[in-house]
Structure 1
Amino acid sequence: MNIKEYLDSTYLKTASQAGITESQNILVAKNFIQEAIDENFKLIMIRPNMVSIARKMITDANSNVDIGTVIDFPEGKSGLEAKLNEAIQAIQHGADDLDFVCNYEAFKEGNVDLLKEEILKCTQLGLENNKVVKWIIEVAALNEKQIIQLSALVKNVVISNFKEKDYVSVFVKSSTGFYQTENNLPNGATVLSIMLMLENASPLPVKAAGGVRTYQEAFEMVRLGVKRIGTSGAKAIAHGESTQSGY
């Protein structure tokens, strides 16, 4: 198995979150982009303001690395119009994958119609522009029943409104990596959460994001059936080392 084909190398910190200046943060992001090029990872996942930088670097290097970015990150509650506008801008700047944070708080409050509309309209925008769409459900904010229900909701919207050939391009994704949990509980993918997602999102593919820190853990996720793994320690994982990264 070439684990690199599954790795979405990820850097999503803002300058303030990283405790550095804006120019320093751009340099960190550029180093992640260059590393993804050098290692030939599947994708580099970065903030929307870094997409045009990544597009130029990848084009100049004649690389096949895809560019992913996050939409309405990390809370997912800005509303449909904001999600669409941010996604349109990311597409214009050269993004290949659009990772939307679904409004999981609205879902928990029972506003299922809001979720259905944003999943439909945002997925439609992505597919019409030949982009991969991923829906982040934020498993750490959900109980097991809610993980099952939200995974199935994404699936049902997609299979009711799009063609079977499109399913491969619409993922259900576990986590932002930025959710604040209590008592040091995991805020990313766990084996249990991924198994629930796989069982209830199928035939849509699943991305395990956050919490995967060793090659063995990544291998196990692929063995379970995930098609992508999001991690800020992609190089360490690819080389059989463990990473101390928080995502």
Structure 2
Amino acid sequence: MKLAQYLDSTYLKTPTQAGISEEETTANVIQLVEEAIAFNFKLVMLRANYISLAKEMINKASSGILVGTVIGFHEGTYSVEKKLIEAQKAIDLGADDLDFVVNYEAFKKGEISLIKEEVAKGTALGLQNNKVVKWIIEVAALNNKEIATISMLIKNVVIDNFGKENAKNVFVKSSTGFYKTENDKPNGATFESIKIMSENAKPLKIKAAGGVKTKNDALKMITLGVERIGTSSAKEIIEETTINSEY
């Protein structure tokens, strides 16, 4: 197993969120892309305004690294129309993967028709343009029953509208990594939430994001059925693997 090919190396903080300048943010993005090329990660996950820079670097290096971006990030409360406009702009910039934030607040209020609409339309736009589509459900905002229900809902919308043959190009993803939790509870993927997602979303694929920082955590996520791991610690995970493999 090539662990690097499960990793979506991620940098999504805006300069304001990170408390740094635009120039420092760009430098962080450049470093992330350089590391991804060096370690042959599956993908770099960046804000849309860095897609062109990342693509240029990857092409110059003759690398096969993919570039993904986020849609409706991070609250998910954008209208369906706004999400589709944002997704089209990302497609035009050359993004390979589109990670949409589901309107999980609407889901919690029982607005199921809205969720069905955005999943159907967002997935259609992505698949029509040969993109991988991921739906972020924000597990930290949901209880276990809600995680199971929304995972199954997304699966059913995708299968009913696009068939099982397209399931390989659609993921259910755990988290944005930006959700504010109380009492220092995890705001990203947990083993429990990933197990529930895997049980209810298959044959759609599963992406664990948020809080995966060690080789052991990454490997356990994979045993639970995860096919992608979004992490800001991709380099550290691989270096730990490299060190351990020497023994």
Per the alignment, residue 219 of structure 1 pairs with 219
Using the size of structure 2 for normalisation, the TM-score is: 0.96
Provide the rounded CA distance (Å) in 2 between the counterparts of 1:229 and 1:12: 15
Q: Which runs of 5+ in 2 are unaligned?
A: 242-247
Per the alignment, residue 104 of structure 1 pairs with 104
Tell me, what secondary structure is at the counterpart of 2:44?
Answer: strand
> How many equivalent pairs are there?
241
Tell me, what secondary structure is at the counterpart of 2:53?
Answer: helix
The 5 A counterparts of 1:1-247 are 1-240=1-240
Tell me, what secondary structure is at the counterpart of 1:168?
Answer: helix
> What is the CA distance between 1:165 and its match in structure 2?
1.7
Map Cα deviations across residues 125-160 of structure 1 (whole Å, 9 max, x no partner).
000000000000000000011000100010010010
Letter in 1 for 2:67: I
Q: Which runs of 5+ in 1 are unaligned?
A: 242-247
> What is the CA distance between 1:23 and its match in structure 2?
1.4
Aligned-residue identity in percent: 59
Map Cα deviations across residues 13-64 of structure 1 (whole Å, 9 max, x no partner).
0001111111111111111111111111000000111111111111111110
Provide the rounded CA distance (Å) in 1 between the counterparts of 2:213 and 2:17: 21
Tell me, what secondary structure is at the counterpart of 1:9?
Answer: strand
Given that 2:104 and 2:137 are in contact with CA atoms closer than 8 Å, whether structure 1 keeps it comes out as yes
Provide the rounded CA distance (Å) in 1 between the counterparts of 2:106 and 2:3: 35
Provide the rounded CA distance (Å) in 2 between the counterparts of 1:196 and 1:117: 23
Provide the rounded CA distance (Å) in 1 between the counterparts of 2:203 and 2:19: 41
Using the size of structure 1 for normalisation, the TM-score is: 0.96
Tell me, what secondary structure is at the counterpart of 1:44?
Answer: strand
> What is the CA distance between 1:163 and its match in structure 2?
2.4
Tell me, what secondary structure is at the counterpart of 1:235?
Answer: helix
Letter in 2 for 1:28: N
Letter in 2 for 1:35: E
Per the alignment, residue 244 of structure 1 pairs with none
Provide the rounded CA distance (Å) in 1 between the counterparts of 2:25 and 2:40: 22
Per the alignment, residue 245 of structure 1 pairs with none
Provide the rounded CA distance (Å) in 1 between the counterparts of 2:28 and 2:211: 21
> What is the CA distance between 1:164 and its match in structure 2?
1.9
Provide the rounded CA distance (Å) in 2 between the counterparts of 1:23 and 1:80: 32
Question: Root-mean-square deviation (CA), in Å?
Answer: 0.7
Provide the rounded CA distance (Å) in 1 between the counterparts of 2:66 and 2:165: 20
